[in-house]
Structure 1
């Protein structure tokens, strides 16, 4: 009970911000509740809500609720979904993700960022934003500051792309909904951003963009495993004796929530869960993510974020430019046939 009492204040504040964000998102739908939540959290957490009594609850919301959100995503998709975009669509997604990951790692190294920020940035942009970052952070032993900074950067960058990609797609691909869906679904970070951006075009684009996005999400488990292995090799190269005593086995074990994601996806693929379960999982997952993002905003030290502002902005701009450019090239080669 003592632990619950410690968690409640920060959890309630995060929930209130999430509720406010949902209402604001109805007025400004182009931003989306997730982005609004993290922005309100940053503003409040660096001004009126800096009380130490909130720390336990915001930490719980940031870590545990994002983990539950990732797991529940598995009940909203099936392996059969891949068939709807065809072999060339699958090839497009795999190549686009690979280019994003390699490019983000390379650019981050050139800008002098550590392994943790580079891997979080690569995974967050290649897969599914906050959910991917939450899945990757434990296996690479990322600290809360790195996670908060990269989640904020990825969400802000995603918001800019969300407002520009629909018009770019219309200008370049006209009435071809598959190609517009590929550009939006293959590039934007979060599901909410994908749906919001595609909705600016038409409903058919929403359907195709969602399919391309789901394909990326289904690769989450593979990315987590690969990044865990990369981190383990990094440890072995730098501190061989410490890697021998790996207390948490971060490079060898799949986090429980990623395993849960995979199991739920497999069950839904085999027996097709009732629609009400998928809907409930989607709504709950979305709420957990928004509450967690509010908590991340509350916990983000804006002074530290702004201190690294120029380099972070350049990193975000570089990765975003790479994603859009590679998507356009791959679409013209693989899909515009």
Structure 2
């Protein structure tokens, strides 16, 4: 009960931002997701929030987002997933491998340590903060390395959230499949994918989420691969072996998707799931915005800026080339 009470202030703050964003979305032709993360960014970087908000903010950013993705399964059918097919999986695996290779190689060229380069590789290739959190103990990264990687990856993803829909509108005229592939195979976190897809339309948001969730499935392989590479690189057998848990919301998403596809979910349940998922989504996006530290990024210097911008540029170029070849 104590943990629940501690989470209330932060969740309420995120809820207020989310409801404000939802109201603004009715007044202006911009989605609630956009308003939510922008307001979160502004509040988080201009107001010194008390520590008692942090527990609820973390809860909203992680748990509510997970529930949102889980409930999203009640609105997506297997027929939609089948459209991704082997081409979609091929695009995702190829993109992930190339991003990991480039990020580690360029990080070493710029003089960054192996741990930091590996964290940046997993965070950008798979699922942002979650991938970094899972990879850090497997390679014995420090808290400083982990914190810097999380901050950079979140900042990069925040910028890409707004850039990718613009690129897609120019290259693909916001056509659903290529736009979803660009967003879902490039952005770092699930929340960023949901937010960016929402800037286009709900269909793109749903398909982009599918691309992203397939990347999440590969998290376990990426973590163990990087751990193995690190062991071989330093010829040390003492690196901690960690147990990576498969994300529950991916399993739940699939189960609800199957139920929905088979017609086992009544229409009222699907409608309730859709609305609840949307509310939890914009609450989580407010929490993500509150956590982005703009000052920390600015203070990190030219090398980190070059590293981050190079990874972003590489991801976009590779995604565009793969979409052109595969689709």
TM-score range, shorter chain: 0.7 to 0.9
Shift of 1:219: 0.9
Distance 1:211 1:5 in 2: 33
304, 308, 330: which one pairs with 2:300? 308
What is aligned with 2:249?
257
Distance 2:325 2:92 in 1: 13
Q: Any conservation in 1 of the 2:104–2:117 contact (CA below 8 Å)?
A: no
What is aligned with 2:134?
139
Q: Paired residues, what number?
A: 305
Distance 1:310 1:24 in 2: 37
TM-score (norm 2): 0.75
Distance 2:220 2:118 in 1: 16
Distance 1:157 1:24 in 2: 23
Structure 2 residues not aligned, in runs of 5+: 138-145, 188-192
Q: Any conservation in 2 of the 1:84–1:211 contact (CA below 8 Å)?
A: no
Q: Any conservation in 2 of the 1:35–1:156 contact (CA below 8 Å)?
A: no
Q: Residues 100 and 263 from structure 1, CA distance in 2 versus in 1: closer, same or farther, beyond 3 angstroms?
A: farther
Shift of 1:315: 4.4
Q: Residues 289 and 161 from structure 1, CA distance in 2 versus in 1: closer, same or farther, beyond 3 angstroms?
A: same
What is aligned with 1:127?
none
What is aligned with 2:140?
none
Shift of 1:243: 1.8
What is aligned with 2:12?
12
Distance 2:247 2:206 in 1: 25
Structure 1 residues not aligned, in runs of 5+: 124-131, 171-176, 200-205
Q: Any conservation in 1 of the 2:161–2:195 contact (CA below 8 Å)?
A: no
Shift of 1:212: 4.9
| Deviation digits for residues 167-221 of structure 1 (CA, Å, limit 9, x no counterpart) | 2334xxxxxx8xx434311112423423433x5xxxxxx75x4675254134144
237, 240, 243: which one pairs with 1:240? 237
Map of 1:201-212 to 2, 5 A cutoff? 207=203, 209=204, 212=207
TM-score (norm 1): 0.73
